[in-house]
Amino acid sequence: AQQTCKECAVKFGEYYCDICHLFDKDKKQYHCQPCGICRIGPKEKYFHCTKCNLCLATDLKDNHKCVENVSRQNCPVCMEDIHTSRIEAHVLPCGHLLHK
């Protein structure tokens, strides 16, 4: 897989990740190596917390309660996977995540 066709040079997506093979419109995505997936950015507004194992907004950098591997659990309300979800998650004061 690649961003453009070798034969006709048609571009398949404004954004392309060579690791995830993700094609999309440009939403300032970036690939987070520790998460193992592409995230919507911009990258400068997020950091990866190694204990939570999750990318969080930079304003939470020294202002959140870490819950180990919190994103590797299902949302306790809708029971959907939080880590790979395209639905935004809300960080509760206790450190757990819920889909918005």
Is 47 a residue whose pLDDT tops 90? yes
51-99, pLDDT tens digit by residue? 989 898 999 898 888 889 988 889 989 999 988 888 888 888 888 899 9
The two tokens of residue 70 are 């919190």
Stretch 10-15: mean pLDDT: 91
Strands 54-57 and 46-49: antiparallel
What's the confidence (pLDDT) of residue 36?
A: 92
Gap between the Cα atoms of 72 and 69, Å rounded: 6
Is 33 a residue whose pLDDT tops 90? yes
Question: Considering the entire predicted model, what is its pTM?
Answer: 0.77
Tokens 């440009």 identify what position? 26
Is 100 a residue whose pLDDT tops 90? no
